[in-house]
Chain A
């Protein structure tokens, strides 16, 4: 007698743990994600920051004025200052006080400036919001002269406390400096 063929039953995989983990990761990443500020999105350059030993200090996100000193991506001989504010409410107020900013740049969160305009912008920023913190975000390849000038401009405009923006040094770089 031929055996009765059992009907094949479809098998079921319990997807619950998978979905659990997925949701967990999703919520974590959603809560930790930070979107670029407008000033950051307008950047035409990439800054390679100097690296230092690991630290817990983090760049403040609110009411920050950043002085970028960057090398142009397309023209490596061209270094210039850029000024940006993270508080978008302050931007029009600050620009109002600086007539040198042309009207077509008024809507921008990041403007290319020279040293005189930079000084005026710093003073205007402090008069609009005195609690603004300053940061110098400079490329590591530039000469110190650029940073020194920016520091002197800050000093002249009564901004005596500021930050250098840096990156954490990786272990490979650490070993390299040890060899030096």
Chain B
């Protein structure tokens, strides 16, 4: 920091044709005061530390089919119906529900196991269609929870199916068939019948 005084003087290297050797000064190590730099750095650091959020939202991708008016016929035996009522209770049945096959209530924690079990039944393997019927008054968080459980169930299902081979000898590909439908009056009647 010190010792800038002679900087502007023109060095007299040549004097009357003679080369004048200057005495070499011993170099003194210089110091830079780092305090302001560190001050600012700490200030910025604290600012960024307080303003960053590490948790970012994640997404759940949905694909919906275009509106179709043509009727598609499916086998009732290949149908797994889940029903979410207005009071956020979940019921399920396979095939067509009647007195012998009433909709049964199931807690969400057991849904994953049910989906895996039903999807891997030998008769309907890789062909099962899951229908989720949702009451408009059901809670959105509950719907997402159910979709999440069904997504999670895909992991063991896909794994089990990919181990098998089709007629051509190639490993089978998982074909997920899933649809969302509104809960109708008829469905509600069905559930009321179950209550009695």
Chain A residues proximal to chain B, CB less than 8 Å: 15, 19, 22-23, 25-26, 29-30, 32-33, 49-59, 135, 137-148, 151, 154-156, 158, 160-168, 177-178, 180
Contact = CB atoms under 8 A, between A and B. Distances in A.
B144 A139 contact: no
B126 to A, nearest CB: 23
27 contacts: A19-B34, A22-B38, A22-B41, A26-B45, A26-B48, A29-B45, A29-B48, A33-B48, A49-B57, A52-B58, A53-B152, A58-B59, A59-B59, A137-B57, A139-B140, A141-B141, A144-B139, A145-B136, A147-B140, A155-B64, A162-B61, A162-B62, A162-B64, A166-B59, A167-B55, A167-B57, A177-B109
Given A26-B44, A166-B59, 19 more contacts: A19-B41, A26-B41, A29-B49, A29-B52, A33-B51, A33-B52, A50-B140, A59-B56, A59-B57, A59-B58, A140-B139, A143-B136, A144-B138, A155-B64, A156-B67, A161-B63, A162-B64, A166-B58, A167-B57
A98 to B, nearest CB: 23
B55 to A, nearest CB: 7
B83 interface: no
B144 A52 contact: yes
A158 B66 contact: yes
A143 B137 contact: yes
A154 B64 contact: yes
B139 A143 contact: yes
A18 B134 CA distance: 57
Contacts of A177: 108-109, 145
Interface in B45-77: 45, 48-49, 51-52, 55-67
B137 A144 contact: yes
Contact of A50 (B56, B61, B145): B145
A178 B59 contact: no
Nearest to A168: B58
Interface of B: 34, 38, 41-42, 44-45, 48-49, 51-52, 55-67, 84, 107-109, 134-141, 143-145, 147-148, 152, 182
Given A154-B64, A166-B58, A168-B55, A146 B45 contact: no
B139 A23 contact: no
Contacts, number: 139
If over half of A's interface residues share one DSSP class (helix, strand or loop), that class is named, otherwise mixed; here it is mixed
